[in-house]
Structure 1
Amino acid sequence: MSDRSRILRGSARAVTGLLVVAVAATAAVLLGNTVLPGVTSEPQPLVVDTTHDANRTLVCAGAFGVLGADPDRPGATIPIGAPEVVVSGTASSAVSVTRPEGGEGLPAALTAPMAEPLAAAQLQSVQTENLRGVVGSACAEPVNEQWLLGGASSLGVSTTLSLANPGTVPATVVVSVFDENGPVDDLQMASVLVPAGSEQTVSVNGYAPDRARLAVRVVSTGAPVTASLGVGHSLGIDPFAISSVTRQTAPDTQLVIPAIANESDHEHGPSDSGEGDEFPVLLRALAPGDAGGQVRAHAIDAAGTRTDLGIIDLVPGAVGELSIAVWPQGAHALVIDSDVPVIASALGSATKRSHHDNEWFVPAPAIAADTPTAAPVVSGGQLVLANTGEAPAKVEVTAASGKGKPRTLTVAPGSAETVPAPADAVVTSSEPVHAGVRFLQGGDLAGYPVLAPDPRDGELTVFTR
């Protein structure tokens, strides 16, 4: 091939290469500015049931602890006696939880498959030189964050916090206290180590002395825990009352407190609004967020009568209080509506002759519709059902053991009523209802909520592509 031919052929190849590059570049520009049809698929939610072969554990607090019962250790909390524990459902295992002071009436951890209804509660009568009364509480599932509202650390009142860890690893618990003025100084927050399989009790009076109102936030890491308050009240050297406080898992804008009672065989005394109860019901609430709000409270009875009780204007982080001069005759539940999420509790009282007692009643979570829910009823207790919805709730009450005949009833919208029930009651309702149990005999009063499992527990939502 001549030199001229080679030059011409090389030039042709170069020109062809340049044309290919130019065409490719032009195509890239055009494609980059052109919206091409695409195939998109929205993620599809798939709800997975994680309860298969899963268990849930409930912890009963054990014997009531008396602060200062040992004169040589005034700061120690000494358990007194042993409670009666009632179980609805069948526990696959039951083990004791240890505590430093030992003694009888140890806390108990009950375990059962998550798919099986299980609940438990305890009741204890206490009689010492300085304290008397009856306390009741629901056995609760360990969680990593919870709230308690009730009690005080003023003259004559002692409040203790019990923390139980039924797990296999230690839990580190941070305790934050709130009072009538706001959060207690961070320097006074407590960090408590709760070893695996044990319960620790601390004095709230020691962290926040001379407070008229108390609320406690409990946050644990390492392992979930259960928390409860014990409150002892004496007048001078005379016993006055004891009570317990069951935990709340989260603030909400509507709360229902079933089973409240306030009775006295003494004559009513004067109040700011005229004639009133000897010991008025006290409603307390806390808005733990950054914003304050208004809490509106009303009572409901079996006939569906609504009685407005009053309003609390809440400052964020401070425990507010409403004194209810007269508790409505026949009312069985207190309903709270709030502008912001709150926690709340209500103090009811019982007086007969020289005996007096009180109890901090707390909100009960809703029992989901068409979901059999265990509702243990202690000996002498009354089951109370509250329906705050707009439709009648058709309720069936059976025994977990299968004994006896089922009882059916209808709870009208906006009403609350007492319901005969066996000790191992199981409640199934066509509409969401709230349930609690109260014990009222003479000058003794106790109560606790039915802690229905969260219907979202055991469900995991997975988004597929």
Structure 2
Amino acid sequence: MADDERPDLTPDADATPTSSESVAPPAGETDDGNVATEDANVETDSTDSAHSTSDAETAAEPELGEPEPAAADAAPEAGSAPGMGRTVTVISLRVVRGLAGMAAAAAVIAAVGLVPLPTLGITPLATTVEPEPADLLALCPGATLRLGDETGANAGQPFAVGRPELTVAATGSPSRTPLATSDADSGGSTSAPTLLRVAPSDDAVLAAAQSQELDGQGGLRGLAIAGCSEPTSSAWLVGGATTVGRTTLLLLANPTAVEAEVEVTMWGESGAISAPGMKGIAVPANGQRVLALSGFAPDLTSPMVHVEARGGQVVAALQTSVTRVLDPGGVDLVSAGAAPSRDLVIPAVRIADAEGVASSLGLEGYEDLETIVRVGNPGDETAFIEVSVTPTAGDGPATSFPLQVPAGQVVDTALSTAFELGATPFADGSYTVTVRGDAPVVAAVRASTSSAPTTDADGDIQPGDADLAWFASASGLTGDVAIAVADAGTPVLVAAATDGVAHTLTLTPLDGGAAITLEVPAAGSAAVGLDADTGYLLSGAKGVAAALTFAARGELAGYPIVSPRAADSPLVIRP
């Protein structure tokens, strides 16, 4: 029978699906008779829709004589497998599309991160200027000074005593120019501070030192030696005193063409010093100022001085002298030392004629012959310090002791503090003193020499010739450096490693001769005797602190070796 000849058994139009609707096979029936589908929102193409409609119509037209429930029972078998397959396929496609999308996003992110993107901006205009090499400079402090003239008048006025001998170590022939003006009225003379100058070149070096022996001239006695220095804007000076019989002068020399304005800051055993005239001190261009520390702080046992210059730069030093009762008892020029640090090295403390010093300590006015370390704390917190004393030769007694320095104060302590009562004093020789603590401090060591006292025909004890020296702390050298050995007795160079590494130093005489090799251990120090009034080139010295010391009967002095100032770096100028 053809389809169009069959009796109309199709359900009502409202219940018959149209060609645009897709009928999913029933997955089951709920209790209230509604058919629950697996996925009512699954979309299929037009072929699947037509196929589903045909299946539904076939299922809805049962054979004649069969009860209607039979068609309902067969419906799940006809559509169950295709529906489930489509669901799995759709889910798989969604997973694949998600993974593909994630891979594409990762590729885009990687491309953006790896490929440099164009930037917008304007490179600022700039010009790099290479500074012209500067002349090498060294300023020597000039002759020793006394207060008052030969008649004793003008007690507050400084006057030059004699003139120093200069030792110059340089390439070529440096020019020598005395400063034009001085408070000591020595401007333009050989007694004035002298500026040495060498034109720059790749192999140019310059070092100088001055020495002056005095035997009562101007009420001064002893050996005054100093290394000649480059001008600077900051200097730390440790040494001297302003108590009875002790005179300390602050020497400020300005070799530049610009007036310098100087501020002086002082501390002592009782704290910071505040006094009129310590700020705004004008040091004229090409001139020297001389200031007595007693004008700021009389009766000061332990001065520490910081000099700061603005405008022009200066070379600062202290001159200290001692009168023991009525006799001159020593003179020294105190060099600037290292800036405040938690780790300081004083590499060349010279002990000379220790037995004569020990036998003179009981004499009136000679009680300060004992070797001391002076530590100044310019900070705001108490410094806890460890002081160590090590002999250079390695065969003498080594000792150390703790020290506490209150904030803003200066403490003097005998180096023999750690020795037991009655112990043998330090033997003659060179020693390295290290000062380490938990706060930045400055330090120096004062030592003295004296021949043993004698007894005259009347049975009176006559003290021997005495002198003193302040040994400043030394900074680690930054490379090869020229050394000028002053013209004085038994010069000794002492070197100590500051970087914990052993060094091999070479000293080559600048005027020819055999080179000298000095092995410096990683811990400790080494010493070598040098020729007086000679210049050397010291090689392999980076990371080493070094100083020169001199000693003779009734004479003692020394000064640290300092690296030349680094050359100016290129300047970048922007409009």
Bucket of the pairwise TM-score, normalised by the shorter protein: 0.7 to 0.9
Q: Separation in 1 of the partners of 2:356 and 2:411?
A: 28
The aligned counterpart of 2:191 is: 105
Indicate the SS of the match to 2:350: coil
The aligned counterpart of 1:451 is: 562
Q: Separation in 1 of the partners of 2:385 and 2:552?
A: 32
The aligned counterpart of 1:3 is: none
Could you say what the CA RMSD is over the residues aligned between the two structures, in angstroms? 3.0
- 1:340 maps onto 2:439 in alignment: yes
Correspondent of 1:95 among 160, 177, 190: 177
- 1:390 maps onto 2:500 in alignment: yes
Give, in angstroms, the shift of residue 301 of structure 1.
2.9
The aligned counterpart of 1:268 is: 358
Q: Separation in 1 of the partners of 2:360 and 2:557?
A: 26
Paired residue total: 416
Q: Retained in 2: the 8 A contact 1:332–1:417?
A: no
Indicate the SS of the match to 2:349: coil
Indicate the SS of the match to 1:268: helix
> With CA pairs under 8 Å and 6+ residues apart, which has the higher RCO, 1 or 2?
1
The aligned counterpart of 1:418 is: 527
| Counterparts of residues 191-340 of structure 1 (less than 5 Å) | 191-248=280-337, 250-264=339-353, 265-266=355-356, 268=358, 279-304=369-394, 307-325=398-416, 326-327=425-426, 330-340=429-439
- 1:376 maps onto 2:456 in alignment: no
Q: 1:74 to 1:404 in 2, by over 3 A?
A: same
Q: 1:39 to 1:419 in 2, by over 3 A?
A: farther
Q: Separation in 2 of the partners of 1:410 and 1:49?
A: 42
Residue type of the partner of 1:108? T
Give, in angstroms, the shift of residue 461 of structure 1.
9.1
Q: Retained in 2: the 8 A contact 1:257–1:333?
A: yes
Give, in angstroms, the shift of residue 164 of structure 1.
0.4
Correspondent of 2:212 among 116, 121, 124: 124
Indicate the SS of the match to 2:224: strand
Q: Separation in 2 of the partners of 1:363 and 1:425?
A: 21
Indicate the SS of the match to 2:345: strand
Give, in angstroms, the shift of residue 249 of structure 1.
5.5
Relative to its length, the structure with more strand (as a share) is 1
Q: Retained in 1: the 8 A contact 2:257–2:285?
A: yes
Identity of aligned residues (%): 27
Correspondent of 1:72 among 153, 161, 167: 153
Residue type of the partner of 1:247? A
The aligned counterpart of 2:470 is: 360
The aligned counterpart of 2:460 is: none
Q: Retained in 2: the 8 A contact 1:157–1:232?
A: yes
Indicate the SS of the match to 1:210: coil
TM-score (norm 2): 0.67
Q: Separation in 1 of the partners of 2:386 and 2:308?
A: 28
Q: Separation in 2 of the partners of 1:304 and 1:406?
A: 24
Indicate the SS of the match to 2:398: strand
Give, in angstroms, the shift of residue 113 of structure 1.
4.6
Q: Retained in 2: the 8 A contact 1:234–1:240?
A: yes
TM-score (norm 1): 0.82
Runs ≥4 in structure 1, deviation > 6 angstroms? Answer: 35-40, 48-51, 461-464
Relative to its length, the structure with more helix (as a share) is 2
Give, in angstroms, the shift of residue 112 of structure 1.
2.5
Residue type of the partner of 1:307? A
Q: Retained in 1: the 8 A contact 2:243–2:299?
A: yes
Give, in angstroms, the shift of residue 188 of structure 1.
5.5
Correspondent of 2:516 among 400, 407, 410: 407
Q: Retained in 2: the 8 A contact 1:299–1:328?
A: no
Q: Separation in 1 of the partners of 2:406 and 2:118?
A: 53
Q: 1:301 to 1:236 in 2, by over 3 A?
A: closer
Q: Which has the larger radius of gyration?
A: 2
Q: 1:132 to 1:430 in 2, by over 3 A?
A: closer
- Identify unmatched segments of 5+ residues in structure 2: 1-112, 120-127, 362-366, 417-424, 453-463
For residues 217-241 of structure 1, give each alpha carbon's deviation from its aligned partner in whole angstroms, at most 9, with x where no partner exists: 1111120111110001111211111
Give, in angstroms, the shift of residue 431 of structure 1.
5.1
Indicate the SS of the match to 2:356: coil
Indicate the SS of the match to 1:366: coil
The aligned counterpart of 2:228 is: 139
